[in-house]
A and B are shown apart, each in its own frame.
Chain A
Amino acid sequence: MFPKNLSEYAIVLLLKDKADHLFSFLIFTFIVTLLSAVLFVSDAIQSDLKVATLFQPDIVVENTLAGRAYTLSEEDKEAIESLRGVTAVEGAVDGYYYFAQGRVWFHVIGDSSLRLGAMRVGSGVYTAIKAWHYEDQFNFFTPKGKITLNIEQIESKATNLLCNDVIYMHPANARAVLDLGMEHYSKLYVTVPNPNEVGELTLKIVETLPYVKATSKEEILANYQHLFYYKGGVFMILYLVCMVSFLILLKNQISLVYGEKKKEIAILRSIGYGIKDIIAIKFIQNSTVALSAFLSGVGIAYLYVFFFQAPLLRSIFLGSELEHSVEFTPIMDMNMLFLLFIFSVIPFLACVILPSWKIAIADMSEAVR
Chain B
Amino acid sequence: MKTLRYVALFFGLLYSVIILHALSFESQTKAKEIQSLASRMKYTELSLSFKESAYKGFVYVP
User: A306, B21: Cβ atoms under 8 Å?
Assistant: yes
Once bound together, how far apart are the Cα atoms of A295 and B35, in whole Å? 34
User: B42, A189: Cβ atoms under 8 Å?
Assistant: yes
Chain A residues near B21: list those with CB within 8 A.
Answer: 302, 306-307, 330
A158 and B29 contact, Cβ closer than 8 Å, known pairs A11-B4, A51-B35, A319-B50: yes
Sample of 30 A–B contacts (CB below 8 Å) = A7-B1, A48-B34, A49-B44, A49-B46, A51-B38, A52-B38, A55-B35, A55-B38, A57-B43, A68-B54, A98-B59, A103-B60, A104-B49, A105-B50, A111-B40, A113-B40, A158-B34, A161-B47, A162-B34, A162-B41, A165-B47, A165-B49, A166-B41, A166-B47, A189-B42, A296-B11, A318-B49, A319-B50, A327-B30, A330-B25
User: A299, B15: Cβ atoms under 8 Å?
Assistant: yes
Chain A residues near B40: list those with CB within 8 A.
Answer: 111, 113, 168
Q: Which chain B residues in 1-37 approach chain A with CB under 8 Å?
A: 1, 3-4, 7, 11, 14-15, 18, 21-22, 25, 27, 29-31, 33-35, 37
Residues of B in contact with A, size category? 35 or more
User: A299, B18: Cβ atoms under 8 Å?
Assistant: yes
User: B3, A15: Cβ atoms under 8 Å?
Assistant: yes
Once bound together, how far apart are the Cα atoms of A42 and B28, in whole Å? 19
User: B46, A105: Cβ atoms under 8 Å?
Assistant: no
Chain A residues near B44: list those with CB within 8 A.
Answer: 49, 52-53, 55-56, 162
A52 and B54 contact, Cβ closer than 8 Å, known pairs A113-B40, A160-B47, A299-B18: no
* A238 on interface, CB distance cutoff 8 Å: no
Once bound together, how far apart are the Cα atoms of A52 and B41, in whole Å? 9
Interface, chain A (partner B; CB < 8 A): 4, 7-8, 11, 15, 45, 48-49, 51-57, 60, 68, 90, 92, 96, 98, 103-105, 107, 109, 111, 113, 122, 124, 155-156, 158-166, 168, 187, 189, 220, 227, 288, 292, 295-296, 299, 302-303, 306-307, 318-319, 321-322, 324, 327, 329-330, 332
A11 and B49 contact, Cβ closer than 8 Å, known pairs A105-B55, A111-B40, A327-B30: no
User: B45, A165: Cβ atoms under 8 Å?
Assistant: no
Once bound together, how far apart are the Cα atoms of A188 and B15, in whole Å? 48
Once bound together, how far apart are the Cα atoms of A216 and B61, in whole Å? 35
Per DSSP, chain B at the interface is: helix
User: B35, A54: Cβ atoms under 8 Å?
Assistant: yes
Among B3, B27, B44, max chain A CB count under 10 A is at: B44
User: A56, B43: Cβ atoms under 8 Å?
Assistant: yes
**Closest chain A residue to B35 by CB distance?**
A54
Once bound together, how far apart are the Cα atoms of A207 and B1, in whole Å? 73
The smallest C-beta distance from A159 to any residue of chain B, in angstroms, reads: 5
Once bound together, how far apart are the Cα atoms of A80 and B1, in whole Å? 73
